[in-house]
Amino acid sequence: MTQIQEIEVKLKAPFPRADIEFRIAKVNKQNCKAQVLAYVTSRAVMDRLDAVFGCEKWSDEYEVLENGVTCKLSAKLNGDFITKQDAAPFTEIEALKGAFSDALKRAAVKFGIGRYLYKLSNLTADILPNKPENPQKTLHYYLSSEISGWWEEPDLPDLVVQDGGESENQAAAVDFQVLTLYQKLSHLVDLEVITSAKHADYIKKLADKTTGPGLLKYFNKQCNLLYNLHVLAQKNKVSAEQRITIYNRVMSARMNGFPIIEKELQKLEAA
């Protein structure tokens, strides 16, 4: 993978759930249901830019317009600054501050940051007339001239594709897995858990468009076991001989063999 490809993977990597917020796009007052959009917080965008480029290699410029704000977001790549631009209207609450924040997020999407969230479809929430007594999720209050009430933040798709899910959500879930695997594999190379040749073999398979969610799930589990084995070795809980033996088993095992290896690693951790 080239340096530019690695940067692209890091920019497009999924965010922790805590960095994702929701807002209502539109409401159907007949059935009291709302279409909900997911987006990344502006603070998370800035943290991602710092992590990928370094705080000194990106900048943002803003221009206040009659009805909103434009953001020019620039990042340094191969010695040159690349600029992406987008705009956002004034928001209902803290109009100017909200527009600055939204403009930054929209410009960041053009770099790939949080773009995967646009692929999520059919995120909905019920508008409830009464506040739930024991809410299991974060609650918000919606108020308009036509309808008002409480709504809970919807669930996001798991990293693993769920059977029977919507096609766009499945595509987004596959994107999650691929991006996460790129990061895990890069980390395993840095730790010298896998060789550069093995890393290249993984990357080749990930780039193959015929690679399906089942194989992605297999690779993800394999990487997790290899990392856990590395941690045990660092703690001197496995000998060099044990490490080689377990490594070879992980690399040759089928999916149904992973739980057995996982339990063995858990026993070694507890010993």
Which residue shows structure tokens 């992590």? 51
Give pLDDT tens digits for 121-175.
678 999 999 999 888 889 999 998 889 999 999 887 653 222 333 444 445 555 5
CA–CA dist 58, 137 (Å, integer):
35
- Check if the beta carbon of residue 62 is closer than 8 Å to that of residue 100: yes
- Check if the beta carbon of residue 114 is closer than 8 Å to that of residue 45: yes
Mean pLDDT score, 163-192: 64
Q: Phi, psi at residue 174, to the nearest 5°?
A: -65, -40
Domain regions of the chain by residue span: 3-152, 167-270
CA–CA dist 202, 196 (Å, integer):
10
Angle (CA) 210-213-218 rounded to 5° is: 105
pLDDT of residue 166: 41
pLDDT of residue 177: 64
Is 90 exceeded by the pLDDT of residue 206? Answer: no
DSSP 8-class letter at 159: S
Least confident of 120-134, 151-165, 217-231, 256-270: 151-165
What confidence tier does 207 reach under pLDDT thresholds 50, 70, 90?
A: confident
Least confident of 37-41, 112-116, 207-211, 265-269: 207-211
CA–CA dist 199, 189 (Å, integer):
7
Instruction: Kindly state the tokens that stand for 212.
Output: 């399906």
CA-closest candidate to residue 97, choices 156, 43, 18, 50: 43
pLDDT of residue 209: 64
pLDDT of residue 127: 95
Mean pLDDT score, 11-20: 82
pTM, two decimal places: 0.60
pLDDT of residue 160: 25
Mean pLDDT score, 175-183: 67
Instruction: Kindly state the tokens that stand for 260.
Output: 């057995």
CA Rg value for the chain: 22
What confidence tier does 256 reach under pLDDT thresholds 50, 70, 90?
A: very high
- Check if the beta carbon of residue 96 is closer than 8 Å to that of residue 69: yes
Mean pLDDT score, 208-227: 84
The strand ranges marked E within the chain are 20-28, 33-40, 58-64, 68-77, 80-89, 124-126, 139-143, 148-152
Identity at 94, one-letter amino acid code: E
Is 50 exceeded by the pLDDT of residue 180? Answer: yes
The overall average pLDDT reported for the chain is: 85
pLDDT of residue 165: 39
Is 90 exceeded by the pLDDT of residue 233? Answer: yes
Least confident of 16-25, 38-47, 75-84, 219-228: 16-25
What confidence tier does 176 reach under pLDDT thresholds 50, 70, 90?
A: low
Q: Phi, psi at residue 140, to the nearest 5°?
A: -135, 160
What confidence tier does 7 reach under pLDDT thresholds 50, 70, 90?
A: confident
| CB burial of residue 116 (10 Å; 0-12, 13-18, 19+) | buried
In angstroms, how far is CA 118 from the centroid of its own chain? 12
- As a 3-state breakdown, the chain gives helix, strand, coil percent values, each rounded to 5, of 50, 20, 30
Share of the chain above pLDDT 70, in %: 90
Instruction: Kindly state the tokens that stand for 31.
Output: 């059935």
Mean pLDDT score, 52-70: 93
CA-closest candidate to residue 60, choices 91, 101, 94: 101
pLDDT of residue 90: 93
